[in-house]
């Protein structure tokens, strides 16, 4: 079961990735939701141009399995005959994780993919963390920050791409994983995360060059890939903790 879930998620962020945008929503009841959009438009256009017509159907047919409307992982696995677990926690989690693809008109090849985790509680994240010890999942590490329904404590050590790196390492050869910087720069053009709150932001304590307040309800993190992989890069603001208090 774990292998099946991992393969679904890996396909969203590795061989087909260009730009990744994530939105994390912090609910008043201490739960959080997350939506990640992966824009593969440019990459897929390049892949189609390089693939002979005789091989296109075989090469891209697998991508057509993703639904174009939000569909739970539970329903996808059930439809494919791969839902074999009876663990109630796992079944409950699968019903809260959704996938969909984006297509242009009648073109069968997706131009993007989206992944959603709906209203996850602190208990749900404990399950996810335990799950992730065995099979690395590419979820946004900002989900691991502490949120009590009013105050978000951001650990800026999570301003990295380690979860994605670990997914790539698990799928790549030894030679490829030794060149992780090159792989990340090749696979990804832009990666950013917006943190949204249901209540207005009252105060922000702490600063980081990559985090900016967007409006009364949200802040934006834009990852600098070059700085991440340059040990000598100096940031003007790089506080270890940022505390956001809402009304």
Judged against a pLDDT cut of 90, whether residue 28 lies above it is answered with yes
One-character DSSP codes across 39-99: E-HHHHHHHHHHS-HHHHHHHHGGGGGS-SS-EEHHHHHHHTT------HHHHHHHTTEEE
Least confident of 3-7, 61-65, 91-95: 3-7
Per the model's pLDDT, the better-predicted residue between 144 and 220 turns out to be: 220
Least-confidence region, from 73-77, 151-155, 182-186? 182-186
**CA–CA gap between residue 226 and residue 151 (Å, rounded):** 31
Extents of the domains making up the chain? 2-142+159-199+213-223
Contacts (Cβ under 8 Å, ≥6 apart) of 192: 20, 21, 22, 220, 221, 222, 223
Pick 122 or 1 by higher pLDDT. 122
Residues 6-31 have a mean pLDDT of 70
Is there a contact between 68 and 103 (Cβ–Cβ < 8 Å)? Answer: yes
Sheet of strand 241-246: strand arrangement: 146-147, 151-155, 241-246, 201-205
| pLDDT tens digits, one per residue of 145-159 | 899 999 999 999 888
Taking the whole predicted model, whether its pTM rises above 0.75 is answered as yes
């Amino acid at each position: 079961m774990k292998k099946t879930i991992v393969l679904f998620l890996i396909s969203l962020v590795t061989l087909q990735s260009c730009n990744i945008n994530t939105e994390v929503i912090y609910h008043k009841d201490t739960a959080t939701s997350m939506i990640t959009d992966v824009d593969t438009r440019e990459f897929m256009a390049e892949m189609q141009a390089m693939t002979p017509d005789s091989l296109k159907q075989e090469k891209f047919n697998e991508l057509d399995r993703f639904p174009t409307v939000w569909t739970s992982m539970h329903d996808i696995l059930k439809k494919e005959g791969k839902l074999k677990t009876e663990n109630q926690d796992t079944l409950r989690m699968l019903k809260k994780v959704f996938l969909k693809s984006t297509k242009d008109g009648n073109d069968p090849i997706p131009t993007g993919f989206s992944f959603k985790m709906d209203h996850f509680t602190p208990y749900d994240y404990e399950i996810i963390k335990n799950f992730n010890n065995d099979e690395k999942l590419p979820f946004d590490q900002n989900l691991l920050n502490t949120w009590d329904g009013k105050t978000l404590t951001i650990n800026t050590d999570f301003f990295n791409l380690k979860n994605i790196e670990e997914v790539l390492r698990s799928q790549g050869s030894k030679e490829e994983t030794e060149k992780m910087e090159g792989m990340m720069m090749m696979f990804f053009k832009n990666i950013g995360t917006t943190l949204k709150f249901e209540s207005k932001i009252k105060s922000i304590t702490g600063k980081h060059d990559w985090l900016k307040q967007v409006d009364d309800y949200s802040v934006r993190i834009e990852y600098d890939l070059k700085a991440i992989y340059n040990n000598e890069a100096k940031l003007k603001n790089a506080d270890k903790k940022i505390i956001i208090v809402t009304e």
